[in-house]
Amino acid sequence: MVDPRSKGGPLRLPDWAWRRAEVRDALKERDVGALLRSAQKYTGASQSRVAVAVGMLQGRVSEILRGNRTVTTLELFERIAAGLEMPDDARMLLGLAPVHPAGLDHLGASGRAEILAVFPSQSKARIELEQRASEATEVEVLAVRGLGILGMNDSLLRAHVRQGSAAVRVLLLDPDGEAAVRRAAEIGEQPGSFSAGIRLSIELLRDLAAEGAEVEAHTYDVLPTWRVIGLDSTLFISAFGDRHEGHTSPMYKITGSPHGALHRGFRRFMDELRRTSRRVV
């Protein structure tokens, strides 16, 4: 690995370059090849200079630029962001936590470290979610129907729960409650078919328990706002909007920190929601 501090250090793109449509599209799609080509275009840097800045061998940078190699690891995304001196709004489009989140500038690194990463959507976090799920001893889910997380055989976490020994706790929307009717109306579905999806998920969780998995599930009757996937001490948070589902919203990866309120707050929220809910599995 090349030390990006030697032979020139990081590249500095003009501030306006980060606002260019092709750069923002590359960040959203995590298309590192397009991002590095833009870095060359707006700085005049050679492949060698780009390699030095991002701490990679020139041959690897060349493969990325040609589309023969993709970048998937968080560590490498962070190295590229540092090598290009990426501003916080660009980091967040790439799915990384801001270096100086708004309102947290007074905290040290330990305080800001509560927000570890920001993903544009659940699909962009899938690799890390599946890896963590395969190693987790506790899995917590707060969702509406949960079919795409645990319900179906090809859902995000079901195979990992089947193969492992994790204790699973799930909170789903009450299919017979007022909140289910309100949520169905928000997203343009009929209440009957909407609630049927929740009931199907409950039955599939019962099947999972019958197969030997340690599963408990509860239903709550509050209009859904937050969607949470907890894998041991790490929480992946997204939000339900009045027109979109949680898996399409940005996803925040958070963990506890001495000065952070988010992790403690979501834990308390889920514990209280579970306390006031009805156990169905």
Domain range list for the chain: 15-93, 118-279
pLDDT at 141 over 50: yes
CATH number of 15-93: 1.10.260.40
Whole-number pLDDT of residue 113:
58
Task: Quick: pLDDT tens for 38-65.
Answer: 999 999 999 999 999 888 888 999 999 9
Give the model's confidence band at 4: pLDDT under 50 very low, under 70 low, under 90 confident, else very high. very low
Cα dist from 48 to 22, 71, 180, 250, 259, whole Å: 23, 18, 57, 34, 41
Q: What mean pLDDT is predicted for residues 250-274? A: 85
Give the model's confidence band at 256: pLDDT under 50 very low, under 70 low, under 90 confident, else very high. confident
Task: Quick: pLDDT tens for 191-208.
Answer: 999 999 999 999 999 988
Using DSSP bridges, classify how beta strands 214-220 and 226-231 pair: parallel, antiparallel or unpaired: unpaired
Q: What percent of the chain has pLDDT over 70?
A: 89
pLDDT at 249 over 90: no
Q: How far apart are CA 23 and CA 78, in angstroms?
A: 17
Residue in 85, 238, 234, 60 with CA at minimum distance from that of residue 148: 238
CB 277 within 8 A of CB 220: yes
The pTM of the full predicted model, rounded to 2 decimals, is: 0.61
Paired tokens of 204: 């599939």
Give the model's confidence band at 179: pLDDT under 50 very low, under 70 low, under 90 confident, else very high. very high
CATH number of 118-279: 3.30.870.10
